[in-house]
Amino acid sequence: MLVTFKCKRHANVVMFGDVAKQLLKFMGHCENIPGAIDPQDIDDALVRLTAQIEKLRQLEMQAEDQDAVDVDDVADLDMEPVVSLHTRATPLIEMLQAAKQADCHVMWEEGC
């Protein structure tokens, strides 16, 4: 399932359902799809989301330090690169910032 986040002042953000639901939880919202954030609640959602993402980023950095892989060995590994939740959340964070400045809703729905 894909989830599309929409806002008047930002391009749509499409992400996989499991990632979208996790980010909704981080913002303090339920995982219901469709849904919306009222303009007066955007600042709180943005603060919560960025705080949770920063915690995860710190944990990821600690894990990378412990599991460091030699760059020369990467070609021998049969694995796909991991896209961090921090990277996946960045467009949504930018959308929330734009919505906060424009004082408009952020909505999400299934599909694209």
Which spans in 1-112 are helix H?
A: 17-26, 42-66, 85-102
Residue 26 lies in a domain: yes
pTM over 0.85: no
Which range marks the domain in which residue 10 is found? 2-64+83-110
N-to-C CA span, the chain: 10
Indicate the length of the chain as a whole number. Answer: 112
Question: 2 pairs with which residues across the strands?
Answer: 16
Residue 76 lies in a domain: no
Residue 103 lies in a domain: yes
Give phi and psi for 52, each to the nearest 5.
Answer: -65, -40
Residue 70 lies in a domain: no
* Per-residue pLDDT tens over the stretch 52-92: 999 988 887 777 666 555 555 555 556 677 778 889 999 99
Residue 78 lies in a domain: no
Q: Which two tokens stand for residue 56?
A: 């995860």
Residue 75 lies in a domain: no
Structurally, the chain folds into a number of domains equal to 1
